[in-house]
Chains A and B, each alone.
Chain A
Amino acid sequence: MDLTLNQEEQAFQDEVRAWLEENHPGPEPESEQGKFEFRREWQRKLHEAGWAGISWPKEYGGRGATLIEQAIFSGEMARTKAPSPANVLGLVMGGPVVIAHGTEEQKERFLEPILSAEEIWCQGFSEPESGSDLASLKTKAVKENGGWRATGQKVWTTYAHEAKWCMLVARTDSDVPKHKGLTYFICDMEQDEIEVRPLRQITGEAEFNEIFLEGAYIPDENLIGGEGNGWNVAITTLMHERAGLGAASAIQVRRDLDELIALINERGLGDDPVIRQRIAELKMGVEALRLGSLRALTQQMKVGIPGPEGSVAKWEWANLNQALTELAVDVLGPEALQPGSEWAYRFLRARANSIEGGTTEVMKNIIAERVLGLPRLR
């Protein structure tokens, strides 16, 4: 057991820090559109320096970093409040799926523009009637000479209005059990058969969209992983999404906790025994998340594949971020309850943490079934 960085890891961290010191773009603009362009520009910069596809293999334009290096990199990004790259879904999910399941032609076609943020990707998985039960999705794709026509509705689609490509899972066979009739497509968003409508959320902003497909066309060459194999391809995507997320999110929550502690001190509330107990709980939660993620990373480096531990981290993070923002609002009082207040936004936004990327209930199911070996109800 050694929780310090070894020589190479230390050198890597120094390199990241030095680069960020030179290139950190500063705080993001307020407006939605301004923010997106800012993030696109930021990704171009990351890409030029070879940081964009940090986890991707070198042969596909990535850096081929180890899991620990990836954790160091995202930790530094979180610590310095660097913005996310604009094409985060392409980098974290789209690219890895093309690399794992795509043909040579698809790799040639899709990978480079993901890295450079020239082509933004979005994810068409969830539907109004298929949230946690993803495999029940109803969007249909039917064969038409040389391609497919997809019809249906998708929801919670981040960046759909900016996206060139959608990772679309659609039903191509209704006569087989639900997991087996799905196919994974890369669907061009720039066509009249697709309508994107922003979805306003409780924070007032519209991070997400609904998309309506009315016979959207997808050529055969944009099918990934084979007809009927969509479920397996989608699962790989989700595993990639969850793996390694813990370490970075722990750094982000740790930064927010430090901010909250400073705020409490500023207001002279450090004496309050209830606040003290709640801060200590948060501190322990942050460290448990960080350390648990490192344990999972170590395990993953030894075994090779992301395990179900990512589900514990996802659950912990949601709990923590909600508890942290609740305490901040309690401490600040009415001023944190005014629309436009930074903490009001964070507090409201945190309610989604236990739903997005898999609900806490689904995380519990995964732990119960895959870690504890308890029987399935279904």
Chain B
Amino acid sequence: MDFGFNDEQRAIKETAREMLAKRSPMSKVREAAESRSYDDALWSEISELGWPGIAIAEEHGGQGLGLMELTILCEELGYACAPTPFLSNAVAGLIVAQAGSDEQQDRWLPGVASGEARGASELTAPEEESLVADAEGAAFLVLSEGDEGARIVEPGAAEAEPVELIDATRAFARVSAEDGDPLPGGVEEAIDRALVALAAELVGVSQRALEMAVDYAKEREQFERPIGAYQAVSHRCAGMLYETEEARSLTYYAGWCADAEPESLAMASSMAKARASDAAWRVTADALQVLGGIGFTWEHDLQFLLKRAKVDGRLLGDARRHRERVASLAGLHAEQPAAV
């Protein structure tokens, strides 16, 4: 029993934290958000480091590591709020790797792993209006097909209309496409893995917002004291830590389940996504309250985290939807399951 990172995982985390602090500081995030564009050089560097292929099998050009390692990277990318097509590409990779034929895997996964011919995936829940993240510039799109299936569509056969969401650090599009190349397998487990990646991103967002709030509470003085000395503020910060840590425990557990105990993944991934969605929203909203007026200004960077938290919380199903799934998996019988 050891609920901690091994040396390699710790190294991945530290490298990612350092690299993103240097290459994607908040000033760069702001630049990208205000221009609604990505820094292509950042994507190239991330690709050279092998991040997009971290959880892709070596035979397809990846590093052959597990979902836990992908989880670590997603947490750091969330912490940096980095504007990259990483998540959408990773989800496309997870789906093709699980549900794709050998031929489809041979054709698409190497591009996903190298980042040179990346995939883009639909990231909305099945019953919601379909939105694909980072469709522009992708070599292939993964769209849902019926309840549990997916198909691959090439950009030439699809029409993508950009849709701007409040999170300007990620590009979304409404994609319409007839036909496409169906994947023979079911995608449920791949989506569960994608939930863990998203939850990890949300944990990173929460951690960053918590740190912003705490740093500010130590510096900012009112009534001749740092505001962090007042329990109305310090207890709020303690609550933010509580929320962040619970979401983190559930997310790491889900990452571990994906690699080591797949029979527990369905429950674990929905618990992680539900809790991380709620946590990230509450923590970023609380951070804004701690920051006060400055946190409400365009000039302050918290807005990127707050907006990322709200949009991510919705992707692949919101907290309510995943709690519904948890209730079923926990053994609550329903004659008529509630609509999700």
Contacts and interface: CB of A to CB of B under 8 A. Distances in A.
Contact of B229 (A275, A276, A375): A375
> Mostly helix, strand, loop or mixed at chain A's interface?
helix
A2 B228 CA distance: 37
A295 B327 contact: no
Nearest to B214: A372
A277 B327 contact: yes
Interface residues of A, number: 54
B250 A368 contact: no
Given A3-B260, A372-B237, A284 B326 contact: yes
A4 B326 contact: no
A371 B327 contact: no
A277 B4 CA distance: 31
Contacts of A279: 326-327, 330, 332
Interface in B23-67: none
A265 B330 CA distance: 11
Interface stretch (A56-64, A93-101, A177-185, A359-367): A359-367
A288 B330 CA distance: 15
Interface in A138-158: none
A308 B199 CA distance: 25
Given A264-B332, A270-B334, A372-B214, A1 B327 contact: no
A90 interface: no
B334 A368 contact: no
Given A276-B332, A291-B253, A302 B229 contact: no
Nearest to A275: B332
A374 B252 contact: no
Given A3-B256, A3-B260, A288-B275, A365 B246 contact: no
B307 interface: no
A48 interface: no
24 contacts: A1-B2, A1-B256, A3-B3, A9-B1, A68-B1, A258-B331, A261-B332, A262-B331, A265-B333, A276-B332, A276-B338, A279-B326, A280-B322, A284-B271, A285-B246, A292-B245, A297-B3, A315-B242, A367-B238, A368-B228, A368-B237, A374-B237, A375-B225, A375-B226
Interface of B: 1-6, 9, 68, 214, 217-218, 225-226, 228-231, 234-235, 237-239, 241-242, 245-247, 249-250, 252-253, 256, 260-261, 271, 274-275, 320, 322-324, 326-327, 330-338
